[in-house]
Structure 1
Amino acid sequence: MDLLTDESLINKVQNGQLDACGLLYMRYKKPLFNYFYNNIYDVTKSEDMVQTVFEKVIKYKKNFKGTGSFRSWLFTIARNTYIDDFNARKKNRSVDIMDHDFAHEEHGENQMLDQEESNLLQKALRMLDDEKRELISMIKLNEMKYQQVADLYGLSLSNVKTKVFRIMQELKENAHKLQANG
């Protein structure tokens, strides 16, 4: 029986069995959406970018050589998609993204306090620069392994851990500032 690992599924896609891409999509649509949403705070745009990533997976399926993990390759595509979108928005930007009041979906099961904490976290995240917000969302929100992120950025493992530690400290400081002012 063929195991349904990410690598075996992408091999099927490479061999023309495009339905296997549907299984990969089901596995990664939420982590990819979270990655995009935590960087751009736009539900529709995040959903579109997830679709764009999988269009690129199909288009560039032969580029996956199996030397690294599929997840790392996929998030490299996602990161490049985000960078392309960011650069396009930067050229056409009429409103500063950090000053925009973003609407967040509310879930009925959330308590009022949980919503306030979530809002505080989102505001504190928006205070980070794009690179820091992207790095922290990969590690803490999408639960990528430090080594995967190190490989993606071309950094050492210790460098990534140090950066994440410092970003977490800055995030905490941002949250404290917001609480003091709120």
Structure 2
Amino acid sequence: MTLTQARITPSKVNANSRDEDLMLAYQQQHPQAFDYLYQRYRQPLFSYLMRVFNDQSLAEDVYQDIWLTLIKQRQQYQLTGSFRSYLFCLAHTRVMDMWRRQGRLSLEHSWSLEEHDTTACAWYEPEAQLAQWHLAQRLAHCLQQLPDEQRLIMLLRLELDTGLSQLAQQLNIAFETLKSRFRYAQAKIQRCLGE
């Protein structure tokens, strides 16, 4: 029996369960599984949003929207990639939606779950958190100096373990455009950090 076919009982769900098992359990109406996922990802997800927006109120609004989206679309989750990737894909789409509503992005640069199947979120593979956050304050400052589109590409590249061509495909952006944004962002951050 594969994991996707297995029924997960409440007794098998605990704080040490794998993310993917917890999400499958949540699909099967085990609310405690959601609680474990929320506890595990509330800080990393909110930190990501704070780095993107540098505005606590806006980050909180998008943060709540991401969790509500996860709740509403839990039946669409498929075990084709990591849960972390799926969650950060939801985050990306909500960031893009927010920027589009604010007029910071044109429609051609936006990407929404309403326009794409949520299984696309499974393509993301998360990268381990930066090994040390001793440069976190300086890096956060440098990231905030970037234009929105460059900052978003750089943050996603830092969060996810995927090549630029895959990232361009996932975000529905021309590869050369994404590569150029990434290169400019990288150069600006290096100058800002004095490296």
* 1:57 to 1:160, Cα distance in 2 relative to 1, 3 A: same
Alignment partner for residue 132 of structure 1, among 120, 127, 150?
Answer: 150
Q: Which residue does 1:4 correspond to in 2?
A: 17
* 1:152 to 1:23, Cα distance in 2 relative to 1, 3 A: farther
The 2-side partners of 1:5 and 1:153 are apart by 27
8 Å Cα contact 1:72-1:152 kept in structure 2: no
Alignment partner for residue 69 of structure 2, among 48, 56, 81?
Answer: 56
Q: Which residue does 2:88 correspond to in 1?
A: 75
8 Å Cα contact 1:32-1:50 kept in structure 2: yes
* 1:31 to 1:139, Cα distance in 2 relative to 1, 3 A: farther
8 Å Cα contact 2:27-2:75 kept in structure 1: yes
What amino acid does structure 2 have at the position aligned with 1:145?
A: D
Structure 2 unaligned residues grouped into runs of 5+? 1-10, 105-133
What amino acid does structure 2 have at the position aligned with 1:71?
A: R
The 1-side partners of 2:67 and 2:157 are apart by 21
Report the count of equivalent residues. Answer: 149
Matches within 5 A, 1:83-102: 83-90=96-103
**What CA RMSD, in Å, does the superposition of the two structures yield over aligned residues?**
3.4
Alignment partner for residue 146 of structure 1, among 155, 162, 180?
Answer: 162
Q: Which residue does 2:107 correspond to in 1?
A: none
What amino acid does structure 2 have at the position aligned with 1:41?
A: N
The 2-side partners of 1:166 and 1:80 are apart by 23
121-130 or 162-171, larger mean C-alpha shift: 162-171
The 1-side partners of 2:52 and 2:97 are apart by 13
* 1:154 to 1:31, Cα distance in 2 relative to 1, 3 A: farther
Identity %: 24
TM-score where L is the length of structure 1: 0.65
Greater helix content? 1
TM-score where L is the length of structure 2: 0.62
What amino acid does structure 1 have at the position aligned with 2:26?
A: V
What amino acid does structure 1 have at the position aligned with 2:38?
A: Y
Q: Which has the higher contact order (CA 8 A, sep 6+)?
A: 1
Q: Which residue does 2:188 correspond to in 1?
A: 170
Q: What is the CA-CA distance between 1:135 and the residue it aligns to? A: 2.2
The 2-side partners of 1:57 and 1:14 are apart by 10
Q: Summarize deviations over 1:37-85 as a string: whole Å, max 9, x none.
A: 1111111321232222111111000111111221121111111111111
What amino acid does structure 2 have at the position aligned with 1:132?
A: Q
